[in-house]
Amino acid sequence: MRLGSIPERLSRDRHNLGAASHIEVDQAAARRLGAGPLLERICPAHVYTQGPDGAIRINWAACLECGTCLALAPPGVLTWRYPAGGAGIAYRHG
């Protein structure tokens, strides 16, 4: 059984694209606390990727809204809220 890459998998999920990101990273705090590698690992949807310059890119449209990053990020690094009503992941099976 082929699972496919994470982006391939997520393309099978249904998402209602929101108007704006529901996630913000304080880049300075993230750099200072070395949060990049942690966020890359723990997010099951690979929303976070750290570039060679150390900045964290956020592919927020892929978010599964689990809340793992919020629970594990060092304090001050993340601002994370649920997306606006009706936006975001829309499971067909669950």
Residue 47 contact partner, candidates another protein, ligand SF4, none, CB within 5 to 8 A by sort of partner: ligand SF4
Q: What angle do CA 47, 49, 55 make, to 5 degrees?
A: 125
Helices (H), the chain: 6-10, 27-33, 36-42, 68-72
- For residue 70, give the nearest of 42, 34, 32 by alpha carbon: 42
By CB under 8 A, residue 34 contacts another protein: no
Out of 23, 44, 49, 50, the residue judged to bind another protein by CB under 8 A: 44
By CB under 6 A, the residues from 23 to 82 that bind ligand SF4 are: 43-45, 47, 63-69
The option from ligand SF4, another protein, none interacting with 24 (CB < 5 to 8 A, set by class) reads none
